[in-house]
Amino acid sequence: MDTFTPQLTFATTRVPPEEMARQGVCVRQFRSVMTELCTALRSALDDERVTAEDSLRRAAEILEGLGGTETAPKEPVRGGLSPWQIRKVTSHVDANLDRPIKNEELASLVRLNASHFGRAFRNSFGEPPHEYVIRRRVERAQGLMLSTEASLSDIALDCGLADQSHLTRLFRRIVGESPRAWRRARSNAPGEIQ
C-alpha cells in the first residue's frame, strides 16, 4: 500500500504588525488544534491506518489551502514572561489539562508571585492564565473529537472539565457552535460522528 506523507509548504510574506496582532489569536488557536490533531492521528496510525491517512490528507489540504504567514520569532515582551518561563508554563499546562490548574501553581513553577505572574502572563499571551487554560482545553477537546469516537462526556472529563454541559458552554463561547455540531460538520460522512 502506498503510504501518504503530508508535505506542507507555507508562503513567507510580510504582514503589517497590526494585521499580525489582529490575526495572532486565530492563527495560534489553529496551530494548536492542528498540533493536537496531528498528535492524535500519529498515534492512530498503528490501529486504523487508512482512516488516519485520510484524516492527515484532509489536514494537509486544509493547511495548504490556508497558506500561512511565517513571522520572525517574537522578542520577549516588555513586562512579560521570559522565553524559558513561557515554555515551562505552556508545557505544564498541556501536560496537565486533565486536572485543575491554579494560577498559583503556574506562578511558583516560574518563580514569580501570583500577582506579578498574572500581569506578565497577560503581557506575553494577550489573555489571562485562566482563559489560556480554558482555550487549551477546548482545543484538546477539538483534537479528541476529530481523532476518537469517544463520547462528548468522556472527552470533557479527559480535558479536565466537569461534564459535557461544561464543555458545551465553553466550546460555544470560544468556537461559536456546539461541540456536537462542530464534530458532525467535520466527520467523514454526513450525520456520522467519528
Which pLDDT tens digit goes with each residue over 134-166?
999 999 999 999 999 999 999 999 999 999 999
Confidence at 187, pLDDT banded by 50, 70, 90: confident
Q: What is the pTM of this model?
A: 0.62
SS (H, E, C) the chain: CCCCCCCCCCCCCCCCHHHHHHHHHHHHHHHHHHHHHHHHHHHHCCCCHHHHHHHHHHHHHHHHHHCCCCCCCCCCCCCCCCHHHHHHHHHHHHHCCCCCCCHHHHHHHCCCCHHHHHHHHHHHHCCCHHHHHHHHHHHHHHHHHHHCCCCHHHHHHHCCCCCHHHHHHHHHHHHCCCHHHHHHHCCCCCCCCC
Mean pLDDT of 104-132: 96
The predicted-structure confidence for 79-88, as pLDDT tens digits, reads as follows 899 999 999 9
